[in-house]
Chains A and B, each alone.
Chain A
Amino acid sequence: MKLEYIYRAFERFWHWAQAALILMLGVTGFEIHGSIRFFGFEQAVRYHNFAAISFITLVVFAIFWHFATGEWRQYVPTLQHLRAYLNYYISGIFQNAPHPTRKHSLSKLNPLQKLVYAGLKLLVIPVMGVTGLLYMFYRYPQRHEVISLNIGGLETVALLHTVGAFALLSFLAAHLYLITTGATVTSNLKAMITGYEELPEHDSPAATSTTKGH
């Protein structure tokens, strides 16, 4: 095993801030939805709105960082090695087989991750952001008598927001479990805390693969 620097300071801050905010949004959101009772409805709404604005701010900074550093390319989905990874998680992992590709700072994500994260960033998060902002501000056109922009009711907005919330909930469960599937059970977690990840020294069959653009 060797230690390799994978996650930079901003990435780690971004990840944990996002984790905390999504947890908060999840708990308060499902309380507003009526699924759980925790903070009380009024506080849940207040915290949810605050966490939402904070989350959007964070997203804006993260987008800027990804474009400024070119790191966005890491998320471009690819079919390369997809089958290998499916096979790995369905059978290889049980036989202690090595990961199909080598992880390093220029290729942090495996093809399954690329697919899922691209889906989150291009679909789920934008839908949640847009429906969330509409949820907060849909009264403004009517209040200021901008009739052409009037939104009749919350139903579509709220139901889309709920669909997104359930998608994120299942993502969160899978994400938490997949933390344990690194080189060791805790290596992924440690990497996201310290930036350095324990990775196997021997090269895997596809070790030379890197992300396009590098």
Chain B
Amino acid sequence: MKRIFLIVFVLALGILLLRNVLPQRSEDQTPLAELKARYQKKPVSPVNHSLFAALQKDFGKPQEVTEACISCHNERHKEVMRSSHWNWDRTEYIAGKGIRKVGKRNILNNFCIGISGNELSCNKCHIGFGFSDASFDFANANNVDCLACHDNSNTYVKANGGAGMPDSTVDLKQVAQHVGKPMRTNCGTCHFFGGGGNNVKHGDLEQAIFDPSREVDVHMASDGVDMQCTACHTAVNHQMLGKAYSLSSMNRDRVECESCHTRLPHSDNVLNNHTLKVACQTCHIPIYAKVNPTKMRWDWSTAGKLKDGEPYEERDADGSITYTSLKGDFTWRKNVKPEYVWFNGTASHYLIGDTFDPSKSLKINELYGSYDDPDAKIIPVKIHRTKQIYDSVNHYLIQPKTYSSAPDDGGYWQNFDWNRSAEEGMKRINLPYSGQYAFAETEMYWPVNHMVSPKANSVQCIECHTRNESRLAGLTGFYMPGRDRSRWIDTLGGLLFILTVLGIAVHGAIRIVMSSKRKKG
């Protein structure tokens, strides 16, 4: 009986040991290997546009190219014209504010602030031709710019200050004959340079993503699976998945890692247990702005200093502009550890005319969520902090006119007069300007979703589960092992242990003394 019992026990222990020590799934059985294989296959286009009769001509105007496109793709323009890439405006529900039309057309940010009055420059990135002021005809299909997204010749560029018109150097025939699915070069032309330069806005989307290494981005790596943006940002009828919370506020149409990697992607259960509350990005994007610095702070209040009556710039060792008379002071950072927030997929937005308390930093797009919210997870964010112009009597943000296309049109970048610039800008958004301006602190939250690192470079447990300098030090309202403790329990427990040891020491000492006395006696 005793022997059988022992044998069973040892066997059970052995099985347990093996189950825990041996790897549970080998690498090539995981969904990851399947995904790698799937995305390594690169489809070849079924048609050669350079042979189509409609494209055998020298296009005088870009609108003629669009007409040619529509002559075959005779429903596609309607899809495009329903998209937010075209409308720069979409219906969103914002908690506390109701259903509102929100988009680049009518929202203020804390970079170049807003397009109103500055359309010639900003709207270079509109997928249309000639969106030069609020009177642009959004119903005219010929103004849809198919080439911005579908140029595969990598020679199509839009003109600076051209309100979306192509640069005069572009060979439209050549481009029209080499169109295809959008590539990183198409999306990146706008999305990597938002805010007036490379990597100004996102931090995780910049020109290095045109040709990244695996260390920079495992998905888009040229030396890896080389995925294009549209592999994740899929589209049905030109309605793309993916949300930039600088403009969006609803939890819909998001791209999620889980759609490919599943909700339980790890072979380790302890890691899988994290996925309910921690977004994949939190561990798998340990740093962003891995190649080129990103803008962390913008101080508009110092703009306008002149040298010998002329505007000037200062640059740091990396070549990044740290001061320009046009825009003020910038702070850039490279290899940035993200900040972390709870996020349930919904956000608020500062809308034109909202009043705020200038003594506190204004959250232009506050991300919602908390530990207790079952839909919320911890996500990494870049927080861009700015000092920007506001109406100090009416307590709302000012839309300044900055870009200048004619002499003395009020553009700040020409005459460096905030009052004139504010007057002109506010006129365009139909808000009164009191004539008094000051500069307020604002914050924008940019979820970090790209620049996913190889597995080996993921955030290590100890970087969060630690008493001091935890990456999640700023998130409260929940207990995290390694970071949190009860001071009471630790103090009393420690005290109990010390008293026990002291008791032992005293008791033992008396025993030793008494026993040596007895021996002598």
Asked if B507 and A42 sit within 8 Å, CB to CB, the answer is: no
C-alpha spacing A177/B514, complex, angstroms: 17
Number of A-B contacts (CB under 8 A): 110
- Enumerate chain A residues within 8 angstroms of B510, measured Cβ to Cβ: 94
- Enumerate chain A residues within 8 angstroms of B9, measured Cβ to Cβ: 61
- Enumerate chain B residues within 8 angstroms of A155, measured Cβ to Cβ: 478-479, 484
Give A43 Cβ to nearest chain B Cβ, in Å: 9
Please name the residue on chain B nearest to A143 by beta carbon.
B276
Count residues on chain B whose CB falls below 8 Å from chain A CBs: 48
C-alpha spacing A83/B485, complex, angstroms: 39
Asked if B496 and A139 sit within 8 Å, CB to CB, the answer is: no
B353 at interface, CB cutoff 8 A: no
C-alpha spacing A95/B2, complex, angstroms: 42
- Enumerate chain B residues within 8 angstroms of A167, measured Cβ to Cβ: 493, 496
Please name the residue on chain B nearest to A163 by beta carbon.
B489
Bitwise, B459-499 to A at CB < 8 A (1) or not (0) is 01110011100000000001111111110011011101100
Please name the residue on chain A nearest to B21 by beta carbon.
A50
Give A181 Cβ to nearest chain B Cβ, in Å: 8
Stretch among B12-20, B203-211, B399-407 lining the A interface = B12-20
Cβ-defined partner of B494 (8 Å) among A42, A96, A166: A166
Please name the residue on chain A nearest to B481 by beta carbon.
A32
B273 at interface, CB cutoff 8 A: yes
A169 at interface, CB cutoff 8 A: yes
Please name the residue on chain B nearest to A154 by beta carbon.
B479
Give B310 Cβ to nearest chain A Cβ, in Å: 57
A49 at interface, CB cutoff 8 A: yes
C-alpha spacing A53/B13, complex, angstroms: 10
- Enumerate chain B residues within 8 angstroms of A177, measured Cβ to Cβ: 504, 507-508
- Enumerate chain B residues within 8 angstroms of A170, measured Cβ to Cβ: 496-497, 500
C-alpha spacing A127/B501, complex, angstroms: 24
Please judge, given known A-B contacts A10-B5, A174-B504, whether A57 and B13 are in contact too, CB under 8 Å. Answer: yes
C-alpha spacing A89/B511, complex, angstroms: 10
Stretch among A33-41, A73-81, A205-213 lining the B interface = A33-41
A105 at interface, CB cutoff 8 A: no
Please name the residue on chain B nearest to A135 by beta carbon.
B481
Give B403 Cβ to nearest chain A Cβ, in Å: 51
Within 44-59 of A, Cβ neighbours of B (below 8 Å) are at 45-46, 49-50, 53-54, 57
Question: What secondary structure prevails in chain A residues at the interface with B?
Answer: helix
Give B131 Cβ to nearest chain A Cβ, in Å: 47
Bitwise, B419-450 to A at CB < 8 A (1) or not (0) is 00000000000000000000000000000000
A65 at interface, CB cutoff 8 A: yes
C-alpha spacing A158/B490, complex, angstroms: 12
Asked if B483 and A34 sit within 8 Å, CB to CB, the answer is: yes
- Enumerate chain B residues within 8 angstroms of A49, measured Cβ to Cβ: 270
B43 at interface, CB cutoff 8 A: no
A23 at interface, CB cutoff 8 A: no
A159 at interface, CB cutoff 8 A: yes
**22 A-B pairs, CB-CB below 8 angstroms?**
A9-B6, A10-B5, A13-B6, A33-B485, A42-B461, A45-B270, A50-B20, A53-B20, A61-B9, A93-B511, A94-B510, A142-B276, A155-B479, A159-B479, A162-B486, A166-B492, A166-B497, A169-B493, A170-B500, A173-B497, A174-B500, A177-B507
Q: Which residues of A contact B (CB under 8 A)?
A: 9-10, 13, 32-35, 40-42, 45-46, 49-50, 53-54, 57, 61, 65, 89, 93-96, 139, 142-143, 152-155, 158-159, 162-163, 165-167, 169-170, 173-174, 177, 180
Q: Which residues of B contact A (CB under 8 A)?
A: 2, 5-6, 9, 12-13, 16-17, 20, 270, 273, 276, 371-372, 374, 460-462, 465-467, 478-486, 489-490, 492-494, 496-497, 500-501, 503-504, 507-508, 510-511, 514-515, 518
